[in-house]
Amino acid sequence: MSEIEWIAPNPTAVTAALASIGVAIDPAEITLLARDNRFVARLPCHRIAWFPTDQHGLQRLAREAHALALIERHCSFRAPRLTHRSVAGWQLREEVPGTADPFATYHRVRDDRRLASQLGGNLGRLLADQHLGIPSAELGDWLLPRPSWPSPLPQVAADLPRVTSDGELIDRALTILARSETAELEITDRVLAHTDFGFHNMVVTSEGAVAGVFDYDEASLTDRHYDFRYLLLDTEDEALFTAAVEAYEAAGGQPIDLGRVRLLNAAAAVAFLALRGDAAPEEKPAGRTLDEDLRWVRMALERAGS
């Protein structure tokens, strides 16, 4: 491809790009949000346009578009649908209708065991559809070999002391992260995994149905267990996770190793704690306060046997 002229992240430039494909949008109706190596323009009528800002962003959007095309072709659940892909790499998509409200869903599931079981069953069947429905011949090195989260052990080791002075907790946390990195080397059975599969990347109805899933930016050819790690909530009741596993296996999915999911959940929790950096205790860099992050880490470490 010749030298790419990146679209500027402003409503005027976005309007001009959309007009070039016959889509007329009032600049006042566009909401712009910056993302790593990309920016997104939210448009009326459940449409969204993604624009790369550098070569890496171009590669990320291409990978996600490929994953979304496979899901549309082979799976029964709803995901964003690509409606235009320009030679410059920007994309116009139809969004999953509805609003993702992860913390409202979390609280509903935490307080309603019946809803947790119902939603868990729906999520397990959806994951079986994704993991089993896409032919392995259509997967390949265009996918990530592993998700980018959790961060590498040396980075977490450097960041954790800025968040907590609890030396014992840090030692346990780093031990679990080392175990997770070792287990990563032992993966043999790989599927197209979302890897960031959680309430923050799905639209859930009041009845516990899944209207759709989005954000396949971290789509990877990796261990199926990554897609279960955020279904193990920081609550004593594991109804959501249990129902998801039972439904997944009943739909033909390979048996899920609870110990493996607990390990991945704990490693993720540790990395989120380290992400806090210099954030104040009440600040929520990833949606949780310091106390909430510490609670998750301690519970996850205990579950994972550390």
The per-residue pLDDT for 267 is 98
State in words which class domain 102-303 has.
alpha beta
In order of 46, 88, 126, the CA distances from 197 in angstroms are 21, 29, 11
The per-residue b/e assignment along 2-25, b for 16 or more CB within 10 angstroms, e otherwise, is eeeebbebebebbbebbeeeeeeb
Break the chain into its structural domains and give their ranges. Answer: 11-94, 102-303
Maximum distance among all alpha carbons in the chain?
60
How far apart (Å, rounded) are the C-alpha atoms in residues 50 and 35? Answer: 10
pTM listed for this prediction: 0.94
| Residue 102, preceding peptide bond in cis (omega within 30° of 0) | no
Q: Which helix (H) or strand (E) holds 213?
A: strand 210-213
How far apart (Å, rounded) are the C-alpha atoms in residues 48 and 20? Answer: 16
- CATH number of the domain at 11-94, out of 3.90.550.10, 3.90.1150.10, 3.30.200.20, 3.40.50.620? 3.30.200.20
The per-residue pLDDT for 3 is 64
Edge-to-edge strands, sheet with 38-43: 31-35, 38-43, 47-52, 91-94, 81-85
Digit-by-digit pLDDT tens for the chain (306 residues) are 456 789 999 999 999 999 999 999 999 999 999 999 999 999 999 999 999 999 999 999 999 999 999 999 999 999 999 999 998 899 999 999 898 999 999 999 999 999 999 999 999 999 999 999 999 999 999 999 999 999 999 999 999 999 999 999 999 999 999 999 999 999 999 999 999 999 999 999 988 999 999 999 999 999 999 999 999 999 999 999 999 999 999 999 999 999 999 999 999 999 999 999 989 999 999 999 999 999 999 999 999 997
